[in-house]
């Protein structure tokens, strides 16, 4: 983990807070995210579902789209936590494939860190490259 431990813990704590805002009446699975930009701002996000299911948005993408829509496009790390409503975080919540692809658009795969809490409440860090090997990104088009 490149990130300093107190910052990693702060991101996890903010992701847990963001999860309180999750709108997940259909799956009942609440997710929170906290995205750290290189300008030291933290963007929180939650999953937002829809009665027609398809338009649902993951917590990670909510955080990314908030940041990009405010002009921030350079990122260091994201913390993601998730569990069924009414339960505390007691498992890893790895980002879905669509969110990994969005990360690939804006982040350096070798250095961008994805933080998770494991069953024992230890913070685990994975690089984007670990979670999306050989990803297709902006550089692939050149
Ligand atoms: N979800 C996220 O928000 N992020 C993830 O990393 C995995 C899944 C959401 C999507 C849906 O609202 C619910 O969790 C169940 O899949």
Euclidean distance between CA atoms 53 and 133, whole angstroms: 29
- Which atom belonging to ligand 1 lies closest to the Cα atom of 30? 14
Residues serving a catalytic function are 60
Ligand 1 centre to CA of 124 (Å) is 19
In this predicted structure, what is the pLDDT of residue 79? 98
Q: Domain 5-131 classified CATH 4.10.95.10? A: no
| Rounded mean pLDDT, 123-135 | 98
SS3 28: coil
What lies within 8 Å, CB to CB, of 59 at 6+ separation is 15, 18, 19, 22, 31, 32, 33, 45, 46, 47, 80, 82
Ligand 1 centre to CA of 47 (Å) is 6
- Verdict on whether the full-model pTM lies above 0.95: yes
Confidence of residue 134 (pLDDT cuts 50, 70, 90): very high
Nearest partner of 88 among 34, 25, 15, 23, judged by Cα: 15
How far CA 118 is from CA of 12, 58, 100, in Å, comes to 11, 20, 19
SS3 31: strand
pLDDT per residue over 55-110, tens digit each? 999 999 999 999 999 999 999 999 999 999 999 998 999 999 999 999 999 999 99
In this predicted structure, what is the pLDDT of residue 1? 82
Domain ranges of the chain: 5-131
pLDDT per residue over 30-51, tens digit each? 999 999 999 999 999 999 999 9
Residues flanking ligand 1, CB < 6 Å? 24, 27, 29, 31, 47, 49, 56, 58-60, 80, 82, 93, 95-96, 99
Pocket test for ligand 1, best of 27, 102, 117 (most atoms within 8 A of CB): 27
Ligand 1 centre to CA of 86 (Å) is 16
- Whether the CB-CB separation of 98 and 62 falls below 8 Å is answered with no
């Amino acid at each position: 983990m490149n990130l300093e431990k107190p910052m990693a813990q702060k991101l996890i704590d903010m992701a847990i807070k963001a999860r309180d805002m999750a709108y997940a009446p259909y799956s009942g699975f609440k997710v929170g995210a906290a995205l750290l930009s290189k300008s030291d701002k933290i963007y929180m996000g939650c999953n937002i579902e829809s009665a027609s299911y398809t338009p649902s948005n993951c917590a990670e993408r909510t955080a990314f789209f908030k940041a990009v829509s405010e002009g921030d496009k350079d990122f260091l790390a994201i913390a993601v936590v998730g569990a069924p409503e009414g339960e505390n975080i007691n498992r890893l919540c790895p980002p879905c494939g669509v969110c990994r692809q969005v990360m690939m658009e804006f982040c350096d795969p070798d250095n961008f860190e994805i933080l998770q809490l494991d069953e024992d409440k230890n913070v685990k860090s994975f690089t984007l490259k670990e979670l999306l090997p050989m990803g297709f990104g902006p550089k692939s088009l050149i």
